Amino acid sequence: MIKRLASASLLLLLAACNGAGNSAATGGPATGRPSRGGDEDVAMMAPPAPGSMAPSALQGMSAAAVEHALGKPAFVRRDPPAEIWQYRVKLCTLDLFLYEDNGRTAVAHYAVRTPGGNSVSDRGCLDEVLARRDGTPTS
Q: Sheet containing 93-101: give its strands across.
A: 75-79, 82-88, 93-101, 104-113
Q: Summarize pLDDT for 75-133 with one digit per residue, the tens.
A: 999 999 999 999 999 999 999 999 998 889 999 999 999 988 788 999 999 999 999 87
Q: Output the pLDDT for position 131.
A: 92
Strands (E) in 31-103, as ranges, are 75-79, 82-88, 93-101
For 61, other C-beta atoms within 10 Å of its C-beta total: 28
- The verdict on pTM exceeding 0.75 is no
- Of residues 51 and 97, more confidence is placed in 97
**5-14, 15-24, 96-105, 129-138 — most confident range:** 96-105
Q: Output the pLDDT for position 70.
A: 94
What residue spans define the domains of the chain?
2-133
Backbone angles phi, psi at 92, to 5 degrees: -165, 175
